[in-house]
Amino acid sequence: MFSRRDILKMAAFFVTSPHLQFPADARQRLAVTSYPFRAYIESPTNSGRDKSKPGMDLKDFPAMIVKRFGVFNINPLGDHLSSTDPAYLDSFRKAVDEAGSHLVDLGIGGQDFSTPDKRDEALAYGRKWIDIAAVIGSPSVRQHLRTPSGMKPSVENTAESLAHLADYGSSKDIVVNLENDSPGSEDPFFIVEVLSKANHPYLRALPDFGNSLRGHDAAYNHRAVDAMFKHAFNMSHVKDVLRTKDGEVYKVDVAGMFAVARANSYHGYFSMEFDTAAGDPFEGTANLVKQSLQHMEQS
């Protein structure tokens, strides 16, 4: 009798790798995430909207990014979509196409894949957003991980649950990415353990250049990002500064992070995610684009 783990291993053996061709041109590998512009985006599920600022529908975002930054890829958040109704999703995809832009990832919210009685709910949520990603033309979703306060997430449970989600993603050729973000449930080395245990071609890392500086030094961040890039496929987030709620400011070694990506033969996209706690998202994103092109074209 095969165990569930044996069945997952056998299933992973027959799963093919994601089908995605990456551009060689440096600028064409850049993207911009909608998160730094949350104050401007009109959506009933966007908690970051600031009504004192002019608003836009997410359909206007790709054209704005092309015009302001000369970047032709976007990395939106699911919560920034005005609706998940088919008609709206179709109009959003058309707006992306008309702007000459492309989706390279869809960021979705946190779910508990570790606690056994929460797994079905987490998987249902993840599958719903994989379906949405397929409709709007995103090759991947960034699945945030969440664990109840005070509880340590289980590598075994999380890997098993996410392997099921990755199986569903593979059926639609959509990658599930995990980002080093919240301490604990999204600790970079925990994520690497999960990815190693699941060993699934459709379950990958999304290295963020700066998130692992929170509470750590530059050497730790370098190790963390290097470990994540060893499991990355199509997405990474670029930051040059991280400012915490307590006012602590961490400077990111941007050149060093691009060097880590090169050392790991990463060919995917770099999405600009300026930390708005450190300044204006328009100015900050323009600076990130400039830095990214400098470091990519030097390689």
Q: Encode pLDDT of 192-211 as tens digits.
A: 999 999 999 999 999 999 99
| Homologous superfamily assigned to 25-297 | Divalent-metal-dependent TIM barrel enzymes (3.20.20.150)
Q: How far is Cα 154 from Cα 197, in angstroms, rounded to an integer?
A: 11
pLDDT (tens, 9 = 90+) of the chain, 299 residues, equals 555 555 555 544 455 789 899 999 999 999 999 999 999 999 999 999 999 999 999 999 999 999 999 999 999 999 999 999 999 999 999 999 999 999 999 999 999 999 999 999 999 999 999 999 999 999 999 999 999 888 899 999 999 999 999 999 999 999 999 999 988 899 999 999 999 999 999 999 999 999 999 989 999 999 999 999 999 999 999 999 999 888 889 999 999 999 999 999 999 999 999 999 989 999 999 999 999 999 998 75
Q: What is the residue type of 188? A: P
Per-residue model confidence (pLDDT) at position 102: 98
Q: Please report, for the chain, the start and end positions of each structural domain, with discontinuous segments joined by +.
A: 25-297
